[in-house]
Structure 1
Amino acid sequence: MGTHSKTERLLLIVTIWEAVLVALVSPLSATGPLAGLRVADWLGLDEAGRVGRIVMLYHSLAVPFVAALVYLVLDLFPVAERRAEVVRSTVTAGYVLTSLGGIGFAYLGGGWIAHGLFLVGLSLVFYAGAVLAVGLVPWRVGGADDPRSYGSAVERWALWLTVLYTLITAAIGGATASFFGNGFEAFLAEDVLRVEHNLGHKAIIAHLHAMLMLIDIVILIIVGRTFRLDGTPYRVAMWLTIVGGAVATFATWSVMVIEFAHKIINVGVFLLLIGGGTVAVQGLARLIRERQTEGVSGLRALLTDPVRFGMLFELLFVNVVVTAPGLSVAFNLEMYRQPEYLEVERAIAVGHWHVLATLSAVIVLFLVVDRLRVRGWLRRLVGWGVLVGSSLAFIFVQFYMLRRPGEDPGWTIPFIDAGVALFLVALAIFLGVQLARLLNRRREEAR
């Protein structure tokens, strides 16, 4: 099996894996649309273990997501095939064990054996990341015959540094969690908004914020690579990514011991946003030029391919549904810290990063669809279905979060549910068709 074909199968499998996990755990939510099924009661899930279950669930979903990014990086950047194969096999085994162990321990009564498998999976993924970092060292590029050897050195430096920061951030989370039951208890960041944070709280919060930011930086670099961006604007964007990523990451780590570092994070994030906007604008210009060669111009040139347009749209839309609301809260922090705003502040703390994480997932899904070379009606269906559905949900989540105390946000729920439903239906059709095509090819190959 060729490397490209292997990458496509791995990407399809991990996407199906994530979709199945989401489908399995959706009925377990106490507040979701499927709560009426009372599956949680049937499984005997009590309130005492809720926080731990959520933490395990986050990791069970996030690690396969990271694996998908690893597959894309290996597909786009020159890494020695022998080392790349080690990374692929290790990260695949790692995400499978992490998800099975995490879900099994948290929800299915798998006991401590399942928890052990969860830890083994995380360890394998960390090892794969370390091998990947060695393979991506920017001063060693592929041979002239490697089609992935194009691009600027600054792009490779940006990716390599981000991978290094990610490994360190993962180690911070793992080191802190190793004290579980010995001075450290599981918690959710939104539950400790107004309490004095100890070192364990600060370390986990730093881990959460830095990991999501670093994942998004990798996504940004992959998008730029997918569009084969180059030239001075792109190099400037990558330099902004390097500087902004370093400032924001080191400041996030420093929050554990230096409270003032919170303000420095904003400087790094600002640089990252400029870099992301530059990539988006340059990508849109590239997309228009590509379509003009096919006789399509203007706005229609962008809208003919909702998948590629969607990647770039989300890089700009993030400022509407994440950056702007975040700034609004920051500028009115004293108001949101009033006692009557506690429930609102908690909703913002939960919703804000969930929107960012889901928006990131939308971009990666589009990258996967594009890499699988999906064409025709299926590309348009998954492109517009996911883009419109997620955008609808993101917009009305803002009204749900940014409400006045005592105001009933229930009117937003039907719109959010409709957006999520459209997203999931488009995803289900896409995965169903792709799986059927894969099985048909396997049958033909077996003949």
Structure 2
Amino acid sequence: MRLNVEGTRSTDDPSGMRTMTKAELLLSREDAQRRALKWLFLVATAWDLAIVAFAGPFAPPLEDAQKMLGLQDYLMRRFFAFESLFFHSLAVPFTAALVFATLLLFRLPRRTERAVIVTSTAGFMLASIAMLYIVLVTEDVWIYTMMVLGLGLCVASGLIMAIAYFPRSEEGSPMRLRGRSLVTLALWVSIVATLASVALGVFASTGSTEWGAVASFEKFRLMVASHEHTVITVIDAAIIVLVVKHYKADGYKGVPGAFVKWGLYGMIVGVPTVTVSTFGTVPIGVEAHNAITIFATILLQAALFIMYAIMAVEWRRLRIGGMRGLAKNIMSYGMLFVIFWVNVVVTLPGIYVAVNLKRFVGLPNEVAFVTGHEHILITLTAIALLMLMAVAYDVKGRLGALAGAALTSGYIVSTAATVLYMFYDWDPLGSAYVPYIDAGIVTTLVGVFLSLIGIARSKGVKAIELPLGMWSEA
């Protein structure tokens, strides 16, 4: 059937059926691309879940299972020898999921969006498969080539996004800095900071630099910690920007609007300064923690400002009123509560250890803290993104309430128990807190699967509607 741009019946079509206009055809392609983003997000999430399920038997509490499955020898040695590659095989699909979520909420021109989708999808699949192959099987030139190609495509998708989201004058944007949208500017800063952290990681990973040389192992340890903390922190900041975009919080007025505006300013200032000060620990040493504490406080307070404002506005918009209304909207409030909870179980313990390094460095509880601290932060980051997507896709009803309750209760119990484990009883085989950690993880996984089902069943992202005149005071 020939396309008739004017939308009239085509003379070449004997059936006389109406052909699609060019605008309708483009709209249809855009809709198909939006649907593809949802399924790609689900694929990337399921990909990570599969890797986590595989890694489960390597946990110390499952030592008996390791012996029974014969994992004590060959696989265990390779797992620990290529630990960094294994973690990156998880990180790359998660970053791709974040990219897909960003494209769903921050629209780009169709061709640009398609370029990001193709490079990010091909990149995370190639890189993750190659890394897992190296960890589990062997190292060959061709598999390393495949890994580098995949990582290169992932970086290419980031560069395309950095160019596409470069802040330009937006007259219709409610909150602006010299004509530029604060939300877009905060997103762009997060993208650039992530790319900078990746570049420094590549610089150190060659092993021939001062930061990556084996002879300077102390600096290499600082490099690994700096890279990991920076990437996760910036990703958390990006997720908060996505939260602002979904809830249209940059359109708030009065006190909530002021909180969001100052929160976005804090993001714009906090992300680059935290990135620079964190990597400053490599040449300077742990003394740079003083600067990290100052700038991280700005960033975290900015996140709390935004959370307070959105919680207050949503409480009125949804007419929650009490516990029953809260339970009904637990997916939304559970997601927002992550922003507060991460300060309780990650930030405060991290500051305490930074101030009291002599009580941890070189002592048995150092490994427990390093492992538990990063696992809490990574887990809460992943849960926040998943819950945001469930909220965006309007996963409600009994399924949404059950999924939200499972996720919220699960992450609170598991992370709180992990903090107690890190500081009071860090024996992985006999700690009294391990059963609570396990129970929280199982509950969280139930919520994860229910959320994925809800997102899969959803027909599309549901936009938030802000009633006019309702937000002049709060």
TM-score strictly above 0.5: yes
Structure 1 position 243, deviation (Å): 1.3
In structure 2, do the counterparts of structure 1 residues 225 and 26 end up closer, same or farther at CA, with 3 Å as the change threshold? same
Q: CA RMSD in A?
A: 3.0
Match of 1:249 in 2: 275
Of 385, 398, 409, which residue of structure 1 is paired with 2:419?
A: 398
| 2:437 counterpart SS class | helix
Structure 1 position 374, deviation (Å): 2.2
- Listed one character per residue, the Cα deviations across residues 321-349 of structure 1 (whole Å, up to 9, x for unaligned) are 11222233234333334x6xx11122111
Question: Does structure 1 residue 330 correspond to structure 2 residue 357?
Answer: no
| 2:433 counterpart SS class | helix
What are the equivalent positions in structure 2 for 1:186-197 lying under 5 Å apart?
A: 197=217
Question: Does structure 1 residue 347 correspond to structure 2 residue 376?
Answer: no
Structure 1 position 34, deviation (Å): 7.8
**CA distance in structure 2 between the aligned counterparts of 1:236 and 1:282, rounded to whole angstroms:** 11
Q: Which amino acid is 1:332 matched to?
A: N
Of 210, 214, 236, which residue of structure 1 is paired with 2:234?
A: 214
Of 375, 381, 384, which residue of structure 2 is paired with 1:363?
A: 384
Match of 1:268 in 2: 295
Percent identity between the two aligned chains: 27
What are the equivalent positions in structure 2 for 1:12-51 lying under 5 Å apart?
A: 12-32=42-62, 35-36=65-66, 38-39=68-69, 41=71, 44-47=74-77, 49-51=78-80
In structure 2, do the counterparts of structure 1 residues 290 and 183 end up closer, same or farther at CA, with 3 Å as the change threshold? closer
**CA distance in structure 2 between the aligned counterparts of 1:330 and 1:128, rounded to whole angstroms:** 35
Match of 1:301 in 2: 325
Structure 1 position 213, deviation (Å): 1.2
Match of 1:415 in 2: 436
Instruction: Return the index of the structure with the highest Cα Rg.
Output: 2
**CA distance in structure 2 between the aligned counterparts of 1:35 and 1:182, rounded to whole angstroms:** 41
Match of 1:191 in 2: none
CA contact (8 A) 2:403 2:451 kept: yes
CA contact (8 A) 1:8 1:372 kept: no
**CA distance in structure 2 between the aligned counterparts of 1:249 and 1:407, rounded to whole angstroms:** 33
| 1:179 counterpart SS class | coil
Structure 1 position 359, deviation (Å): 0.6
Of 102, 107, 115, which residue of structure 2 is paired with 1:86?
A: 115
**Corresponding residue pairs, total:** 418
- Listed one character per residue, the Cα deviations across residues 338-393 of structure 1 (whole Å, up to 9, x for unaligned) are x6xx1112211111121011111110110122233323222122211111112111
CA contact (8 A) 1:403 1:409 kept: no
Structure 1 position 413, deviation (Å): 0.8
CA contact (8 A) 1:390 1:419 kept: yes
- Higher mean displacement: 125-134 or 417-426: 417-426
| 1:257 counterpart SS class | helix
What are the equivalent positions in structure 2 for 1:136-285 lying under 5 Å apart?
A: 136-139=165-168, 152=176, 153-179=181-207, 184=212, 197-230=217-250, 231-259=257-285, 260-285=287-312
Structure 1 position 269, deviation (Å): 0.3
| 2:161 counterpart SS class | helix
**TM-score when normalising by structure 1:** 0.85
Structure 1 position 254, deviation (Å): 2.2
**CA distance in structure 2 between the aligned counterparts of 1:184 and 1:328, rounded to whole angstroms:** 28
Structure 1 position 113, deviation (Å): 3.0
Structure 1 position 248, deviation (Å): 1.1
CA contact (8 A) 2:390 2:454 kept: no
In structure 2, do the counterparts of structure 1 residues 160 and 15 end up closer, same or farther at CA, with 3 Å as the change threshold? same
Match of 1:389 in 2: 410
CA contact (8 A) 1:288 1:297 kept: yes
| 1:410 counterpart SS class | coil
- Listed one character per residue, the Cα deviations across residues 222-250 of structure 1 (whole Å, up to 9, x for unaligned) are 11212211222211001111112222111
**CA distance in structure 1 between the aligned counterparts of 2:452 and 2:280, rounded to whole angstroms:** 42
Structure 1 position 197, deviation (Å): 4.8
Match of 1:442 in 2: none
Q: Which amino acid is 2:353 matched to?
A: V
| 1:41 counterpart SS class | coil
| 1:411 counterpart SS class | coil
Structure 1 position 42, deviation (Å): 7.9
Match of 2:9 in 1: none
In structure 2, do the counterparts of structure 1 residues 345 and 43 end up closer, same or farther at CA, with 3 Å as the change threshold? closer
In structure 2, do the counterparts of structure 1 residues 298 and 30 end up closer, same or farther at CA, with 3 Å as the change threshold? closer
Question: Does structure 1 residue 424 correspond to structure 2 residue 445?
Answer: yes
Q: Which amino acid is 2:276 matched to?
A: F
Q: Which amino acid is 1:423 matched to?
A: T
**CA distance in structure 1 between the aligned counterparts of 2:103 and 2:427, rounded to whole angstroms:** 50
Q: Which amino acid is 1:35 matched to?
A: A
CA contact (8 A) 1:307 1:380 kept: yes
What are the equivalent positions in structure 2 for 1:75-154 lying under 5 Å apart?
A: 75-109=104-138, 111-139=140-168, 152=176, 153-154=181-182
CA contact (8 A) 2:162 2:191 kept: yes
**TM-score when normalising by structure 2:** 0.80
| 1:256 counterpart SS class | helix
**CA distance in structure 2 between the aligned counterparts of 1:92 and 1:265, rounded to whole angstroms:** 34
Structure 2 gaps, min length 5: 1-28, 251-256, 459-474
**CA distance in structure 1 between the aligned counterparts of 2:442 and 2:163, rounded to whole angstroms:** 41
Q: Which amino acid is 1:135 matched to?
A: A
